[in-house]
Each structure stands twice: as structure tokens, then as C-alpha cells.
Amino acid sequence: MTQPISMPWSAPVFGRPPHKWQGVRIAAFPFAPRPGSVERILPPGMERAAGPGVVTLISYPASATFESYNELVVLVPVQVDGTQGNYVPYICVTTDEALIAGREIAGFPKKIAQITWEREGTRFRGSVTRRARTILTVEGTVQGPMPSEGVPGRGSAGNPTINYKLIPDPAGGIEVEEITKTQLDVVPREQEVGQARLRLQPSEFDPVSDLVPDTDGPMIVVTCDVTIPAGEVLKQIIRVQKEPVA
């Protein structure tokens, strides 16, 4: 047997990166974060950078490693010791495979949710429900191909994703605390633009609405091929005394 990098030993959930998909469907919605909200959610070692945030709803088809799943990703621009990237404070998926791989490899803080991604002609609908509460809904209309000059307010879509990876030890302390960087490779097949209404509901378990206000604005819909490669550690968080995990 090849040395696995995930559990269980006899039936690993995922193999070594890179992980690849063809025909991924992405709907992206730029937003202006609520005043002061980004600073309140940033973990140690990160600073806010200029630019809008982005909410993305993604539909991944089945691949050689993963079954099909849907995903919500919320991104805000940050910098870590001069490196620009998009921090992921909130991310939800619909399968345990996607959750485990994301959390264990790069520290994506994934949670399980019910996520819809629906396209009928020019109409788009999406929603995210967790713990019996619908925390996000989107309704939009695709208006046509993306213009050559792009979309104003789109943000830094090509920057790497930045994650705060925290793993407790068996005694309840902190085993791993670091900031990681992953540069996704996205090859577009088709890019369209439109307008959408993004609506949020408060949740004490998933406070996405504290960061993302209700927004009416541009929508970007992309069909693409995606490769998530091996990432790297940008920074290890060194504490004088490791605190027990509550």
C-alpha cells in the first residue's frame, strides 16, 4: 500500500494533491464588507488589504477522487507579511470528502451545509442552509458574455487563497497554528455576467451576515476547469504559551 496522507489508514478519504475537476460551475458576487467587520474576524498574523470581498457559490462535478458537491466560499482581501491574498473566513460544502480534505490539507474552515446551485436559462438561484436556518440566498439573471474589460469591482480573483490552519492536540492544546497559501489554477471555458440579489440571514453559528450585507450588484458566472495544487505554509504562529482549546 502507498503511504496514505489521510485517515482511515485502510481507506483514505483523499490522496495527495493536486486535485483536478473539469466543468466546474462558479457564480461569484462582489460585496463591500460591513464597516469594521473584516478587522474583527481576522486571525493572528493577517492584515486587511484594499478591495471588495467576494461570495462564491460553486458546483463541482464528480472527479477521480471526489463525488460531486456544492460549495459556498466567502473571501476577503488580506496581506500576510507583504503577500497579498484572499482570506477564507467562511466556507461550507455538501460532502464529508470535500470537508475533510479542505480542513486537513490547507486549513479551509469547512462546515457541512445544504447548498443549492440552480441555472435555468438565464435565471440563477442559490441558497445555503445550516442547522435548519437558511443563511444566504441568491437570485440573479445572466445578461450575456463577459466584456473584454471585465467587471468593475470584481476584486483580486487571481490572488491565492489564505487560510488560518488550527489543529488541537489530544490534550486540548494547540498542535498546529499556521497561515497557509494555495494558488488555485482556474482555466475558464465560458464567462458570463449578470445582476443578482444577495440576501443574508443572521445566525449565531454562522455569522456570515455580520460580514456580508444584503447586496444588489454584478454577478459573474463561469464554467471552468479547476486544479487545487499543493499549497505552502506562509507563516507559523509562535505563542509564548500555547493556550488550551476551549
* pLDDT tens-digit readout, 8-50: 989 999 899 999 999 999 999 999 999 999 999 999 999 999 9
Assigned C-alpha cell, 216: 444588489
Q: Per-residue pLDDT averaged across 213-238, rounded? A: 96
Q: Are 113 and 96 in contact (CB under 8 A)?
A: no
Q: Are 101 and 14 in contact (CB under 8 A)?
A: yes
The predicted model scores a pTM of: 0.92
Q: Tell me: the pLDDT tens digits for 141-196?
A: 999 999 876 655 444 458 999 999 999 999 999 999 999 999 999 999 999 999 99
DSSP letter (8 states) at residue 101:
H
Considering only the top CATH level, what class is 19-236? mainly beta
Report angle CA 241, 245, 246 to the nearest 5 degrees.
Answer: 130
Residue ranges of domains in the chain:
19-236
Q: Name, in order, each residue with C-beta under 8 angstroms of 63's C-beta and a sequence gap of 6 or more.
A: 19, 20, 21, 22
